[in-house]
Structure 1
Amino acid sequence: MHLRAAKEILHMEAWLHRAEEIVARGPDAYHCDDILQEAGDSLMIKLGESANRLARLGVVAPPGVDWALAIANRNFVVHQYDQINRSMTWATLATDLPRWRVALAPLIAAAAAEIRRSPP
């Protein structure tokens, strides 16, 4: 695995963990808190940008993960921010991203091993 790809994957892992922290607060807290909503948007933007970088590096998304969909979601949140549906963003955070974390587990492990092997 290319070192740049490994770093992107580990960034994704950290952002997926942050998404879990938002979800742990529950849907009521999310829907009532503009800051949590903005944080979720930020994570989806970062994940989409990272997916774009990984796709350009030739990293194949595992089953259950769709780089193109993440990129499209990023673009929507960035450019159509006035049309965001909070029920849909909650579903992404609470349902889709936990599945991503499971599906990406082998890539995350490979990325961590690549980082360990790389010279400082």
Structure 2
Amino acid sequence: MINRAVSKEVLHIHAWLQRVAEIVRHGREAYMRDELLQEAGDSLMMKLGEAAKRLSRLELLAPDGVDWSLAIANRNFIIHQYDEVDREQTWLTLSQDLPRWHSSLRPLIEDAQIALGLS
């Protein structure tokens, strides 16, 4: 069973990935023309990177298909090179990479819900 701190981070990730799915449901064209959707996506990717950093420090191994270090690097890039963000790349991350992460994290999400008595 995973501990409480890990469980909370995993469930934060789950909630943020659900919000990513909401952005993606708007479609690529809406994302490309809507700066608010872009900023929301950036914010979610930064939060995911921060949670990945915490989980890495808690020595939780990422499941296959998930790379904590990539999320951390993405977070750092968005924060520090915000004027160089490529919207095509962020769309691909939101629409392709993160939904795969969500699938890969499902068993861990279920474990976290059980650990916190939510399931």
TM-score calculated relative to the size of structure 1:
0.96
* Alpha-carbon distance in structure 1 between the residues aligned to 2:75 and 2:9: 16
Write out per-residue CA displacement over residues 23-43 of structure 1, whole angstroms, 9 at most, x where no aligned residue. Answer: 000000000000000000000
Q: 1:64-109 CA distances to partner (integer Å, 9 max, x unpaired)?
A: 0000000000000000000000000000000000000000001000
CA-CA distance at 1:2 after TM superposition = 1.3
- Do residues 73 (structure 1) and 74 (structure 2) align? yes
Percentage identity across paired residues of the two chains: 56
Deviations 1:1-27 (A, max 9, x none): 110100000000000000000000000
The aligned residue for residue 8 of structure 1 is 9
- Counterpart CA distance in 1 for 2:64 and 2:85 is 27
Identify the residue that residue 110 of structure 1 maps to in structure 2. Answer: 111
Counterparts of 2:9 and 2:63 in 1: how far apart (Å)?
A: 15
* C-alpha separation in 1, matches of 2:27 and 2:19: 14
Q: Which runs of 5+ in 1 are unaligned?
A: none
Q: Which residue is 1:52 aligned to?
A: 53
Q: Distance in 1 between matches of 2:116 and 2:8?
A: 8
Q: Separation in 1 of the partners of 2:3 and 2:84? A: 37
Between the aligned partners of 2:82 and 2:29, the Cα distance in structure 1 is 21
Instruction: Give SS of 1:61's match.
Output: coil
Q: Distance in 2 between matches of 1:3 and 1:57?
A: 11
Q: Which runs of structure 2 are paired with 1:19-58 in the superposition (5 Å)? A: 19-58=20-59
Gaps of 5+ in 2: none
RMSD of Structure 2 on Structure 1 (CA):
0.8
Q: Structure 1 residue runs of 4+, over 6 Å off?
A: none
